Amino acid sequence: MKMLKAAGILAVLALAAFPGAALAHTGKATLSCAGVQFDYALFPAGSNTVHYKIVVDNGAPQTGDFVLNQAGGTSGSLTVPLDLGGTHTVAAYTWWGPAGVVAGHTGGSQTQPAAYGTGTCDTPATPATPAPAPVTPPAAATIPAAAAPVPAQGVQGVKVSSPARTAVLGARTSCASRVVRVTVRGQQMRSVAFSVNGRHVRTVSVRSGQRSVRAALAMRNRRASQVVSATVRFRNGAAARTLSARASRCAQAAVQPQFTG
């Protein structure tokens, strides 16, 4: 079983990649206490739809579909928020094809997790009641500790000794018409400055004890892929952190609902 080390809010729970049957499609999942991030690459150009499933403590699965939105449909990234607290076991699955994928290629697995891990999250929460049958984990492995020694959103976060600079950014990465909705979660936040494509949009002051900030940011131009950034400053004197995510602009009729976990 992949066990999570207490290595700070940005520690990765587990990571795995599944190649496609004919081409080198890859799909991987990164887990933390704030959510699951799925990353896909090396698909043929065109419209490619992938599927995902997230199971927390053997509870009801959270499922969805995602259309790759980068580099002409050859790659894409999706973050599904979870905002966990306490000790949990998380399994993330992803798969695709033959329908909805260029040339009918298939890959991934509905039964073999792309990422699996057990960890203790910093934010207290009521533990979920586990089902009798445990999730079958992949081959045993030990996850290395994150490089950052100081704890600091996508599941991100584990048990930490100090909330010095904990912050994560979630953005709707699929399809937005004129605005993109973003969420910043963290601890000890004093203010959050938002920008789109490097241009400052607004700065939000954060109340003491407030753990999340939500904003709807206007897209700067008609480019398909745009970068949303949030610079977080902390109350305890820790160095400011800048978090980034990509969002795609499309026609109003193609706007998809935001994944809220």
pLDDT tens, per residue, the chain with 261 residues: 333 333 333 333 333 334 434 457 889 999 888 889 999 999 999 999 999 999 999 999 999 999 999 999 999 999 999 888 889 999 999 999 999 999 888 999 999 999 999 988 876 545 556 666 766 666 655 545 444 444 444 433 333 333 444 567 666 555 556 788 888 888 888 999 988 888 898 899 999 889 888 888 887 666 667 788 889 898 888 888 888 888 776 644 333 333 333
> Is 259 within the bounds of a domain?
no
DSSP 158-212: ---S--SS-EEEEE--S-BSSEEEEEEEESSEEEEEEEETTEEEEEEE--TT--E
> Is 79 within the bounds of a domain?
yes
Residues 150 and 217 in one domain: no
| Distance set, CA 35 to CA 52, 54, 88, 153, 257 (Å) | 13, 10, 12, 7, 17
Say if residues 240 and 221 touch (Cβ distance below 8 Å): no
Name the pTM for this structure.
0.43
Residues 4 and 108 in one domain: yes
Burial of 51 from C-beta contacts in 10 A (0-12 / 13-18 / 19+): middle
> d(Cα 190, Cα 206) in Å, to the nearest integer?
5
DSSP 41-101: E-PPSS--EEEEEEEETT---EEEEEE--BGGGTBEEEEEE----EEEEEEEEEEE-STTS
Residues 176 and 191 in one domain: yes
> Is 248 within the bounds of a domain?
yes
Say if residues 41 and 74 touch (Cβ distance below 8 Å): yes
Residues 178 and 218 in one domain: yes
> Is 40 within the bounds of a domain?
yes
- Residue for token pair 């995902």: 52
> d(Cα 170, Cα 78) in Å, to the nearest integer?
9
Residues 151 and 28 in one domain: yes
> Is 261 within the bounds of a domain?
no
- Residue for token pair 């909330």: 163
pLDDT confidence of residue 187: 86
Tell me phi and psi for residue 182, to 5 degrees. Answer: -125, 155
Bridge partners (DSSP) of residue 249 are 176
Residues 92 and 107 in one domain: yes
- Cβ atoms within 10 A of the Cβ of 178, count? 11
pLDDT confidence of residue 129: 63
> d(Cα 23, Cα 80) in Å, to the nearest integer?
26
**CATH code of the domain covering residue 193:** 2.60.40.10
pLDDT confidence of residue 211: 87
Residues 56 and 2 in one domain: yes
Residues 177 and 85 in one domain: no
The number of folded domains in the chain is: 2
Decide: helix, strand or coil at residue 254: helix
Residues 81 and 118 in one domain: yes
Nearest alpha-carbon partner for 10 in 31, 25, 40: 31
> Is 132 within the bounds of a domain?
no
Tell me which residue range forms the domain holding 83.
1-126+144-160
